[in-house]
């Protein structure tokens, strides 16, 4: 495989790595939005619980039982949401780590491609200089003969 083909293939691989990085960035952004939704839900549930007040402060015993049941139900839902938030945070950490790793791989490949492109450019310059020197030598020999 020639150096030019090598540089072209590295360029293709670099574009594929960039697509992977872009995909992982999109996934991480979605996970961050999901975490924000869970946090907002937890905040709203806390506000609902606080808005009801103490169950013992109710004038009627049935109403006090109703408020207590409502608060218990809210607490169960809140615990479920908190667990979902913890899972979403763990997934977001994994996604961030995958993004970091993909970015490092992409950057390393970009450096390899840049080095290969520099080598190719140096090689092409040498070939051009060699052709120029050969033509100058031929012209000098024709002029001197």
- 60-81, pLDDT tens digit by residue? 888 888 888 888 999 999 999 9
74 burial class (0-12, 13-18, 19+ CB within 10 angstroms)?
middle
Across 15-29, 43-57, 73-87, 94-108, least confident range: 43-57
Q: Give strand ranges (E) for the chain.
A: none
In the chain, what are the domains?
3-144 (1.10.287)
pLDDT band at 144 (very low <50, low <70, confident <90, very high): low
Look up residue 54 and give its two tokens: 């103490």
Count of other CB atoms within 10 angstroms of residue 1: 7
CA–CA separation, 34 vs 94, rounded Å?
A: 14
pLDDT band at 145 (very low <50, low <70, confident <90, very high): low
pLDDT band at 108 (very low <50, low <70, confident <90, very high): very high
């Amino acid at each position: 495989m020639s150096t030019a083909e090598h540089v072209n293939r590295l360029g293709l691989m670099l574009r594929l790595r960039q697509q992977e990085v872009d995909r992982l960035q999109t996934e991480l952004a979605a996970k961050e939005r999901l975490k924000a939704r869970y946090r907002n839900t937890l905040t709203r549930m806390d506000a609902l619980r606080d808005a009801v007040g103490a169950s013992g402060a109710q004038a009627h015993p049935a109403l006090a039982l109703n408020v207590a049941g409502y608060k218990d139900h809210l607490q169960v839902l809140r615990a479920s949401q908190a667990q979902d938030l913890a899972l979403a945070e763990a997934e977001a950490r994994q996604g961030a780590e995958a993004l970091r790793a993909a970015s490092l791989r992409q950057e390393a490949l970009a450096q390899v491609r840049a080095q290969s492109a520099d080598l190719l450019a140096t090689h092409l310059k040498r070939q051009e200089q060699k052709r120029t020197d050969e033509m100058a030598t031929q012209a000098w020999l024709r002029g001197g003969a």
